[in-house]
């Protein structure tokens, strides 16, 4: 999808990385359009979670990475204190995050996250990843996230609650914003 994003009022230009040329745009979701462009198929349950997240007072934001006029990835960020119950509204919770396969391992995700975290204004950023997703965990650690606990999902809304017994399926990572 090649368009002139500067002409689209739904997208707000945030920053361009001088080394890679990667541009980051902010999209504020609407009730009927939870994401600007659907880069990966979204199941019904995920659409419902986006809708429920949208209904909160402080809504989530979607940041898009654009390279040479093409969307190559996105990062969702929201205030804490909701699904990840061990966070507060002053914290940010990042994810999901995605980079198109052809653009992986070139540092674009790291550049996008640096710009997003600098722009979003949260002091601490949290992320959770399934214990079995070792590549994502390694990527988070390379970016400076440190493990800070474990959680388990409960209920239909899949809220994440802290556990101390090692029986969780999810690690929580924390990073102080740069």
Express each pLDDT in 83-113 by its tens digit: 777 788 888 888 888 899 999 989 999 999 9
Cis peptide before 96 (omega within 30 of 0): yes
Instruction: Say which residues have a Cβ less than 8 Å from residue 162's Cβ, sequence separation at least 6.
Output: 85, 86, 149, 150, 151, 172
103 vs 6, higher pLDDT = 103
Tell me the domain boundaries of the chain. Answer: 5-176
pLDDT of 1 reads 43
How far is Cα 68 from Cα 53, in angstroms, rounded to an integer?
31
- Which CATH superfamily is 5-176 part of? Gcn5-related N-acetyltransferase (GNAT) (3.40.630.30)
Q: Copy the structure tokens of residue 141.
A: 């650690």
Nearest to 108 by CA among 61, 77, 63, 67: 67
107-135 pLDDT, tens digit per residue, is: 999 999 999 999 988 888 888 888 888 88
Instruction: Assess contact for 128 and 173: CB atoms under 8 A.
Output: yes
160-171 pLDDT, tens digit per residue, is: 666 766 665 666
DSSP H helices, 100-152, are: 108-120, 134-142
Question: pLDDT grade, residue 79 (50/70/90)?
Answer: confident
- Virtual torsion, Cα 96, 101, 106, 110, nearest 10 deg: 0
């Amino acid at each position: 999808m090649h368009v002139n994003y500067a002409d689209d009022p739904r997208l707000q230009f945030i920053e361009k990385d001088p080394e890679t040329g990667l541009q980051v745009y902010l999209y504020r979701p609407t009730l009927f359009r939870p994401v600007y462009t659907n880069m990966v198929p979204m199941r019904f349950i995920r659409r419902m979670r986006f809708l429920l997240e949208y209904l909160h007072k402080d809504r989530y934001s979607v940041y898009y990475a654009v390279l040479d006029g093409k969307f190559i990835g996105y990062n969702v960020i929201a205030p804490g204190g909701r699904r990840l119950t061990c966070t507060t509204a002053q914290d940010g919770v990042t994810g999901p995050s995605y980079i198109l396969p052809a653009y992986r391992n070139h540092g674009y995700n790291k550049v996008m996250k640096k710009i997003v975290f600098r722009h979003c204004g949260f002091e601490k950023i949290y992320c959770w990843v399934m214990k079995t997703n070792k590549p994502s965990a390694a990527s988070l650690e390379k970016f400076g996230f440190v493990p800070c606990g474990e959680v388990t999902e409960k209920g239909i809304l899949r809220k994440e609650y802290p556990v101390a017994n090692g029986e969780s399926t999810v690690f929580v990572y924390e990073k102080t914003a740069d």
